[in-house]
Chain A
Amino acid sequence: MERELPDFFLTDLPREAALTPAIIADACETLRRNRLRYLRDRSTESLVATFGGLAEKWLDDRYPLRQLALAQGESRTQYPAAVIRRGLDELFSSLTKDGLERLILQDLGHLRRLDDPVSDELERRAERKSFALGPELIAHVPGGAIPNPTVTGLILGFLVRSAQFVKCAEGASFLIRLFAHSVYETDPKLGACLELADWRGGDRDLETPLWQAADCVVAMGSDETMRELEKQLPCQTRFLPYGHRVSFVYLTKAGLVETSPRNLVAGIVDDVVRWNQSGCLSPQVIYVENGTTPNPEQLTKWLADELASREASEPRGKISDRAAGRIANSRRLYEIRAASSTDTVVYASRGSTAWTVVLDHEPRFQGSCVNRFLHVKAVENLDEVLGGAEEVRGQVSCVGLVAAATEAPALVRRLARWGVTRVCPVGRMQTPPIVWRHDGRPSLGDLVTWADWEL
């Protein structure tokens, strides 16, 4: 790839070109300078148009960077081409001009809020105007292999006129790097306000100048990594941590009456197959009420059949020995339980770890091995679900809910009060709209500082 992409970002440099603290500090200084020249005074309208257009390019099969992502993705990421193709399609379909404008309106109340002091209707009556300003330099620390949160985060960063430095995990920068090149290629001045580098996390020498230079750090990773990172930041730096999250599905008796089983199963499997279940929004556990039609046993079998059929059309691809070992051990454990208890049923791909579904009647939330490993748990009601999931309370990102229209509002109220920050239909868990409040926080709103003008 080095021959096909220009050496524009630090991450493009050959391995032997070692990064130093001075290089990082210089890069931050250059970013700030370029922001003043090329970004601070850009209009929202122009930025929205640029990124709307860029997203369209990424949806076009003829776009060379997309072709590169699909051609080399399998060897450069943990995902096969089919998974990357679907992931890119869904990601960039959501990043439209309309979507970005809706997000600005939702989080900031006015489309021109980032251009000038302006008033919405309420402010006009109160004779006030306000202006939202982003940080001068945002440092991103992506935690996952999925490009979605970082690509979206970069676009939001540009919308708030911030220069941005992405510190990728070592060896996990491929898709982000292609996106950065697409920004550069589409609008070199914007590209000049973006830097990418990758090094092994915990290198204090390289990280200190970045933390010193950034006004805002957006980080994803384990809760422990977030705590460690926070300790290193100057106290005035805005820190937006996105820690460990999991998701599950809840199916009620009444909900299943109103749902086509075929669509239900296809929707759940869609959410599992997307990015091979490695997203925080992907379900790890399916809670299904006893007494449903289809019953939990039938549903488990159908999920297994659907996963098997997806393996033929969208194979999961190769995973690391460590990840496969985890699946093999976990499967073996459940197979042993199944041998002496009819309460446990295991369906699994033969001769590979491609997919696994385990049914049991233990409501305790069980973190999945991911990579298409699904737990189905038969429960009596939501009380049992929330009791079983107590261990992950505060860490549940999304619940895919299948419930009757009459019972749904009460269920959502309980889930929200318990700590769930997003409820959606199955099949859409991994594809949140751009206006989604990530982990319950306004993604754009959290980046800005307000300047109020009382007239």
Chain B
Amino acid sequence: MNELSALSTLSDELIRLFDREAQAQFDGSAIGEDAFAGLARRLFRLQTSLNPRYRPVVESTGLASVDDWRRFPCVPTAAFRDSDWSCIPRQERTGAFVSSGTTRGLRSRHCHSRRSLALYRGSLYRWFFHHFRSPRNAQLMVLTPSPKDAPDSSLAYMFGAVSQAFEEADFYGRISTDRAWELDRQRLVTDWNEARRRDRPVALLGTAFSFVWLLELRELPPLPAESLLLETGGYKGLVQEWRRSDLYDALISRFGLERNRLLSEYGMCELSSQAYDCRAGDSAEPRSFRFPPWARCQVISPETEQEVEMGATGLIRVFDLANAWSVMAVQTGDLGRRLAGGVQLLGRASETELRGCSLRFEA
């Protein structure tokens, strides 16, 4: 069996394992620590061999033969802007997810194929519904454009995938003439009021940015009982930035939501798995983002590159088996605090930017 076939086999095997893990309520019976280590090792060897960009990185570090996934060389998310990290043969590629990052106009690209998208869906679907526990009769309202309108957005793809599980689902985002995302406010207000009239729970998905818009729509009444909401980052800087806690407080008081029915998602186009900070209905505090068992997260000291102590802060690394078709070991540009249950997001370590003394501290 050649290596590409081996990767395809592993990819299919992973989908089955994700399913088994979900059926077992993510108790680690399918992908426990040992199983993860073994799968990661297999994947690392295949990616080193198949990925022409990753191979020299691994060789330059002299770590080609290491077995411990914690030592696999990580690729920073910023490297997805100027290089192709895909193992997918060109003729099999069906498209790419592109980031909304704006540094010098460069955007990350993560290529996909029919097979890699099947794995992507396998990862996102089970873990999403493990957290986003919506009532059966909920009406899904998605505040991003549809995957058809935004084919290069991993977020739109993800929301599109999960929307298929709802009897009633619609997208209320659209692309403006200057290629920005905006809300179809009129249609949203009409459908929102209709859901309210029918007293049908609403399940809302959107970026933090789209929820700020929502708060500006004075004509929206509170949501019916059992409604829930999932927020994800994005579009920072295009409107006044809110602190997440302030945004939550405003959404709770305005729409009558319960705090434990507001969820946050952490994901990016360079990864194929996502993390959530709460299961709907659970009230555990402090909240922390948890990835599925097939994606391990580490918080590392930027100074020593070693994992930090519990409670300490550092850069977030994710080892994501669902990234089988690109690189599994990814170093994000985000800072986090290591907590027992997961990681608390502290924001961007920020990109390299032009700096001078005038930028050290803003008055």
Q: How long is the Cα–Cα vector from A339 to B363 in the complex, in angstroms?
A: 41
| Residue contact A326 to B74, C-beta cutoff 8 Å | no
| Residue contact A243 to B353, C-beta cutoff 8 Å | no
* Residue A204, interface by CB 8 Å: no
Which among A220, A332, A353 is the interface contact of B76 at CB below 8 angstroms?
A332
Task: Given the known inter-chain contacts A144-B360, A225-B362, A340-B53, please indicate yes or no for A329 contacting B331, CB distance below 8 A.
Answer: yes
A420 to chain B, nearest CB (A): 14
* Residue B349, interface by CB 8 Å: yes
Task: Given the known inter-chain contacts A220-B358, A222-B359, A278-B357, please indicate yes or no for A327 contacting B302, CB distance below 8 A.
Answer: yes
A345 to chain B, nearest CB (A): 12
* Residue A245, interface by CB 8 Å: yes
Task: Given the known inter-chain contacts A244-B354, A244-B356, A246-B354, please indicate yes or no for A329 contacting B315, CB distance below 8 A.
Answer: yes
* Residue B169, interface by CB 8 Å: no
* Residue A172, interface by CB 8 Å: yes
Query: B42-50, B56-64, B177-185, B278-286: which one contacts chain A?
Result: B56-64
Chain B contacts for A325, CB-based, 8 A? 302, 314-315, 333, 335, 349
| Residue contact B60 to A338, C-beta cutoff 8 Å | yes
Task: Given the known inter-chain contacts A167-B363, A245-B358, A325-B314, please indicate yes or no for A332 contacting B74, CB distance below 8 A.
Answer: yes
| Residue contact A352 to B304, C-beta cutoff 8 Å | yes
| Residue contact A370 to B355, C-beta cutoff 8 Å | yes
| Residue contact A368 to B352, C-beta cutoff 8 Å | yes
Over the window 240-283 of chain A, the binary record of Cβ atoms lying under 8 Å from chain B Cβ atoms (1 yes, 0 no) is 00111111000000000000000000000000000100111110
Q: How long is the Cα–Cα vector from A395 to B358 in the complex, in angstroms?
A: 12
* Residue A293, interface by CB 8 Å: no
* Residue A143, interface by CB 8 Å: yes
Q: Which residue of B lies closest to A226 (CB)?
A: B358
How many residues does chain B have at the interface if contact means C-beta atoms less than 8 Å apart?
38
Q: Which residue of B lies closest to A219 (CB)?
A: B363
Task: Given the known inter-chain contacts A325-B335, A351-B304, please indicate yes or no for A368 contacting B363, CB distance below 8 A.
Answer: no
* Residue A4, interface by CB 8 Å: no
| Residue contact A279 to B355, C-beta cutoff 8 Å | no
Q: From residue 86 to 123 of chain B, which have CB atoms closer than 8 A to chain A?
A: none
Q: How long is the Cα–Cα vector from A278 to B355 in the complex, in angstroms?
A: 8
Chain A contacts for B216, CB-based, 8 A? none
Chain A contacts for B59, CB-based, 8 A? 339
B61 to chain A, nearest CB (A): 8
Inter-chain CB contacts under 8 Å: number:
149
| Residue contact B357 to A340, C-beta cutoff 8 Å | no
Q: How long is the Cα–Cα vector from A171 to B361 in the complex, in angstroms?
A: 9
Which among B331, B353, B355, B358 is the interface contact of A332 at CB below 8 angstroms?
B331
Chain B contacts for A68, CB-based, 8 A? none
Q: Which residue of B lies closest to A371 (CB)?
A: B355
Q: From residue 146 to 185 of chain A, which have CB atoms closer than 8 A to chain B?
A: 146, 149, 167-169, 171-172
Q: How long is the Cα–Cα vector from A254 to B360 in the complex, in angstroms?
A: 36
* Residue B162, interface by CB 8 Å: no
| Residue contact A242 to B358, C-beta cutoff 8 Å | yes
| Residue contact B78 to A279, C-beta cutoff 8 Å | no
Q: How long is the Cα–Cα vector from A391 to B75 in the complex, in angstroms?
A: 28
| Residue contact A201 to B363, C-beta cutoff 8 Å | yes
| Residue contact B355 to A221, C-beta cutoff 8 Å | no
Q: Which residue of A lies closest to B315 (CB)?
A: A325
Q: Which residue of A lies closest to B75 (CB)?
A: A336
| Residue contact B359 to A143, C-beta cutoff 8 Å | yes
Q: How long is the Cα–Cα vector from A321 to B304 in the complex, in angstroms?
A: 12
Q: From residue 316 to 354 of chain A, which have CB atoms closer than 8 A to chain B?
A: 321-322, 324-330, 332-333, 335-336, 338-340, 351-353
| Residue contact A143 to B361, C-beta cutoff 8 Å | yes
Q: How long is the Cα–Cα vector from A151 to B313 in the complex, in angstroms?
A: 35
| Residue contact B350 to A322, C-beta cutoff 8 Å | yes
Task: Given the known inter-chain contacts A221-B358, A243-B358, please indicate yes or no for A321 contacting B302, CB distance below 8 A.
Answer: yes
Task: Given the known inter-chain contacts A329-B315, A336-B79, A339-B56, please indicate yes or no for A280 contacting B361, CB distance below 8 A.
Answer: no
Q: Which of B60, B331, B335, B356 has the most CB of A within 10 A?
A: B356
Q: Which residue of A lies closest to B52 (CB)?
A: A340
Chain B contacts for A142, CB-based, 8 A? 363
Q: How long is the Cα–Cα vector from A330 to B79 in the complex, in angstroms?
A: 10
Chain B contacts for A321, CB-based, 8 A? 302, 313-314, 335, 349
Which among B56, B79, B331, B362 is the interface contact of A143 at CB below 8 angstroms?
B362
* Residue A369, interface by CB 8 Å: yes
Q: How long is the Cα–Cα vector from A108 to B133 in the complex, in angstroms?
A: 74
Task: Given the known inter-chain contacts A222-B362, A325-B335, A329-B78, please indicate yes or no for A246 contacting B352, CB distance below 8 A.
Answer: no
Task: Given the known inter-chain contacts A225-B363, A332-B331, please indicate yes or no for A322 contacting B349, CB distance below 8 A.
Answer: yes
Chain B contacts for A244, CB-based, 8 A? 354, 356, 358-359
* Residue A392, interface by CB 8 Å: yes
* Residue A119, interface by CB 8 Å: no
Q: List 21 interface pairs A-B (beta carbons < 8 Å), by A numbering.
A: A143-B357, A149-B357, A221-B358, A222-B358, A225-B362, A242-B358, A243-B358, A321-B302, A325-B335, A327-B302, A328-B303, A328-B349, A329-B315, A330-B352, A336-B75, A352-B303, A352-B304, A366-B352, A367-B354, A395-B356, A397-B356
Interface residues of B (CB under 8 A from A): 53, 56-57, 59-61, 74-76, 78-79, 83, 301-305, 313-315, 331, 333, 335, 349-363
Given contacts A322-B350, A328-B302, A367-B354, 15 further A-B contacts (CB under 8 A): A143-B360, A146-B357, A169-B361, A222-B358, A222-B359, A222-B362, A244-B356, A284-B355, A328-B349, A332-B331, A336-B57, A336-B79, A339-B56, A339-B61, A352-B303
